[in-house]
Structure 1
Amino acid sequence: MSAADAEYRVRHQSFWFVACVAVLVAQIVTEYLMGRVPICACGYVKLWEGGVNTSGNSQHLSDWYTPSHIIHGFLFYGLGYLILRRKPLAARLLLALVIESGWELLENSPLIIDRYRTATIALDYYGDSILNSAMDTVFMCVGFFFASRAPVALTVAIAIFFEIFTGYVIRDNLTLNVLMLIWPVEAIKVWQGGV
């Protein structure tokens, strides 16, 4: 590789990296402008919030919904691989970040917050803190990079494990979350309320 090729490659990678960071920064700024709280109203930051139906859920660095965001990364890596196969990994990451950031903004809008509160067991859900939302996006990136390196079978096995484990422990997971958001099933809502 010539020096010119190496310089071009570094500049090209830098562009994608800056674009990815810009998406995350735009997400954070937009959520701030939407009036989201920067951190938990409790005034401190925890590495893990283990309560599901608590005021700290979706307010700290990680929680029971973190595996769902890692699975988002698995799925978005697959999507990027399908539609941007010839593009650099960073371009596919940018696509994943745009989708995840878009979801985070939508999820923290009054429309979706109200939907969660009426259609699911999340009666006390008032949206994510900015910190939690940004970390959800970071965890999506973790899943994305894992999927880019790991065998497909291992990635699928981990996704299934996450779904079964969180479904068992908290009676919620990515699949149930999407189902209950789009097409609520009363029997599932009752079952989830039994925690």
Structure 2
Amino acid sequence: MIARTGWSVVLGLIAVQVLVLHLLGRVWICSCGTIRFWVGDIHSSELSQQILDWYTPSHVIHGMIFYGVLHLFLPRAPVLARLAVAVGIEVAWEIAENSPWVIEAYRKQALAAGYTGDSILNSVLDTVAMMTGFALARLLPWQATVALALLAEVTVGAIVHDNLTLNILNFIHRFPAVEAWQKRV
């Protein structure tokens, strides 16, 4: 009964995400009319529109971070309750990320000049990616989780000149040297 309630909360939060994104005018799928599993071109207009892209690892890392923080601050809470909190945080971020203010803030970054927001498909799968990271952190030793997160950050950063760390830094303050480096991709 408790598990059913926990999963109902998780699915309810994702339903809220879908509804709010729809009300914000987000497209259901890429306006190109196709659904692709992967978009590897960092400059593609299909980035943040399809199932997976170079920003998916960032959402997996969100889940790892949420698991660790919630494990520290809510150690006695059932894992499913902590997952529901993590999904609530991710859903709130996905809604904020697709608000006109945040979209405009992202457009000021070197790699996000043409960013128009996520499709609903991509946004929901970003939440699923976060849940995957949460599950990995639950199942793996903490050292393996940290190593996997660092590997993802370094690999994505090296390949596309962006990752979760740079995304946060650029959102807070623009660094000309970082922007120049990112424009070289």
Report the TM-score, using the length of structure 2 for normalisation. Answer: 0.98
Matched, 1:13 2:37: no
Structure 1: 5+ residue runs without aligned partners? 1-10
Matched, 1:33 2:23: yes
Counterparts of 2:100 and 2:126, CA distance in 1: 19
Deviation at 1:121, TM superposition (A): 2.5
CA 1:150–1:158: 2 relative to 1, 3 Å = same
Once the two structures are superposed, the pairs formed by residues 101-116 of structure 1 within 5 Å of their partners are 101-116=91-106
Name the structure 2 match of 1:72. 62
Once the two structures are superposed, the pairs formed by residues 70-109 of structure 1 within 5 Å of their partners are 70-109=60-99
After superposition, the CA RMSD in angstroms is 0.7
Counterparts of 1:104 and 1:48, CA distance in 2: 19
Q: Among residues 120, 143, 161, which one is paired with 1:130 in the alignment?
A: 120
Counterparts of 1:179 and 1:118, CA distance in 2: 13
Name the structure 2 match of 1:169. 159
Deviation at 1:25, TM superposition (A): 0.8
Query: Percent same amino acid among aligned pairs?
Result: 44
Deviation at 1:37, TM superposition (A): 0.4
1:31-89 Cα shifts (integer Å, max 9, x gaps): 00110000000001000011111100000000000100000000000111012110110
Counterparts of 2:126 and 2:156, CA distance in 1: 16
- Kept in 2, the 8 Å contact 1:16–1:90? The answer is yes
Name the structure 1 match of 2:184. 194
- Kept in 1, the 8 Å contact 2:39–2:47? The answer is yes
Greater Rg over alpha carbons, structure: 1
User: Once superposed, which parts of structure 1, at least 4 consecutive aligned residues long, lie more than 4 Å away?
Assistant: none
Deviation at 1:186, TM superposition (A): 1.1
